[in-house]
A and B are shown apart, each in its own frame.
Chain A
């Protein structure tokens, strides 16, 4: 703490002067896993049978 004199007021100043613009944007979590192991196995079977990736609605 005593190495660099960062007082409470300068911490406040950092929060004030460094504040990012408030402009929210949605970032929904994507689906990367099948709901169940059975679905996962079925997708593998489908890929093997049709030679192309299984597609899931998003």
Chain B
């Protein structure tokens, strides 16, 4: 492959974003240090200023990404306009998933593909890594049902590995090693992914038109959410994510992202570039590469292939966690995967941007630790502060009061909140101006959803901060999170379940409040937005898992569902009826029943 660096637009976007973020971080550093200097700068002030510098840099980086997304439009991509001759396989890796829901998705996508008249150009392969024998038996039963319903023999395949070596990446690699040469392209999905046939065809047209394109990623939108938390995430993924994704595409250029699913790869490029080795040492930092997608994107780029995210591609869907606890469980896996990338920062031959992406992924988790360090440092700071000397000038009879730096503290606080809030306000304004808000229920409804999203996430932020901190500490102390199956389905939690999952956060919050009261009572009000939600964590978790208001957090897909989603629900409800008549206690069908119950 020919080597090529980033183009001018990409370099400019990266430079501006980096400059803005560095300046914001340094301003925060300087403001905090001068605030701390009112009673003399000591070591803990330097440490806290460093924490706030890095954290502000990270927030500013996100804000810059949003601004880049708002101020640019996607370039018109090259596309192959002739007849499609290439063979594409749609890969559906499954791991202890509910086969009824997953195979119903396959049936719906297969019907949509056949309707395009390109049924013979697209195959579907279900790649099972399921370890649970009961679920495996159901997979086999429902595969035969899928074949008979779709007449898919020779087009739809199923295989189950005896050993799930290398987890999901190993599952895909095993397919490529045994059957990869039969296909030009592979569309990689997740068990809960759904993709419109028109999107698949368009992806093939784009990757075929650009011979150097190794991987094309879409932005999947969350569908079928039911709980307050799930609907909030669904709204965010539809409303904010496309703008952030545009900014990301702008900055990543030819070294784009891979998020592990809802993407198309050029099979020979993927095979030649993405064979993942086991890292030396034992988990969590050694062993199998957990967040393989980032690494595969970096490896493709290392070989000179273009990796691109096309944010204009619609019709790409996934499902998300329905409550904070399930989100935290998934986040635990991602945390371990991202921190493991610290082993790869100096991997030979990677593009500088790929290394930076690894660093960003690590920082995304470490920022929680930095904020917590800053808060703990603030509580402990009075212990290190020397008593105020009101008579610093020898012989001067009147006391000299230290200058008040409260204004600087307020400016710093406002600046940090602004970095969080301004991108969202800009996206809301842009949506109202361009008419994008119509798809979200109109301007008023979009503003209500946007404000609610900000309030919900602000209140729940300390709970996420604690879960992330625990994940980081577990990884650092060598505790491997393993490979738990994804939790899908309703996910409603009662108070007891929420308490069991978060009582340690309540105790931590109570201890934080007590320490603040004793050591830094003047900070009690300032720290209440953090310690308060921690003490109330079980209530927040349980409340967020309840069914959400049908109007709040509307998205274009909740207002008008697509034909494919409706077809999936139709097949699913029919199959579930059969499943129940076959067995009143079938294993694992609960999630599917809840999925259909939402519709």
Interface residues of A (CB under 8 A from B): 1, 3-4, 6, 10-11, 13-14, 17-34, 40, 43-44, 47, 52-56, 58
Could you tell me if B140 and A17 are in contact, using CB atoms closer than 8 angstroms? no
Could you tell me if B271 and A27 are in contact, using CB atoms closer than 8 angstroms? yes
Interface residues of B (CB under 8 A from A): 125-126, 134, 137-138, 140-141, 143-144, 147, 153, 156-159, 173, 175-183, 267-268, 271-277, 279-280, 289, 295, 299, 343-344, 346-352, 355, 582-583, 585-587
A4, A17, A20: the one within 8 Å of B179 (CB): A20
- A residues within 8 A CB of B346? 34, 40, 43-44, 47, 54
Could you tell me if B141 and A10 are in contact, using CB atoms closer than 8 angstroms? yes
Given contact pairs A4-B583, A43-B346, A53-B350, A32 touches B180 in the complex (Cβ within 8 A) = no
Could you tell me if B144 and A34 are in contact, using CB atoms closer than 8 angstroms? no
Q: What is the CB-to-nearest-CB distance from B120 to chain A, in angstroms, rounded to a whole number? A: 13
Count: A-B pairs, CB below 8 Å: 129
- A residues within 8 A CB of B583? 3-4
Jot down 26 A-B pairs with beta carbons below 8 A, ordered by A. Answer: A3-B586, A4-B586, A17-B147, A20-B159, A20-B179, A23-B181, A23-B183, A25-B177, A25-B179, A25-B267, A25-B271, A26-B271, A30-B277, A31-B347, A32-B276, A32-B279, A32-B347, A33-B277, A33-B343, A44-B346, A52-B352, A53-B349, A53-B351, A53-B352, A54-B348, A55-B349
Q: What is the CB-to-nearest-CB distance from B255 to chain A, in angstroms, rounded to a whole number? A: 12
Could you tell me if A27 and B140 are in contact, using CB atoms closer than 8 angstroms? no
Could you tell me if A4 and B138 are in contact, using CB atoms closer than 8 angstroms? yes
Could you tell me if A30 and B273 are in contact, using CB atoms closer than 8 angstroms? yes
Could you tell me if B275 and A30 are in contact, using CB atoms closer than 8 angstroms? yes
B137, B156, B182, B275: the one within 8 Å of A4 (CB): B137
Given contact pairs A29-B276, A32-B295, A24 touches B137 in the complex (Cβ within 8 A) = no
Question: How far is it, in angstroms, between the C-alpha of A16 and the C-alpha of B491 when the chains are bound?
Answer: 37
B179, B279, B585: the one within 8 Å of A23 (CB): B179
- A residues within 8 A CB of B272? 26-28
- B residues within 8 A CB of A33? 277, 279-280, 343, 347
Could you tell me if B586 and A25 are in contact, using CB atoms closer than 8 angstroms? no
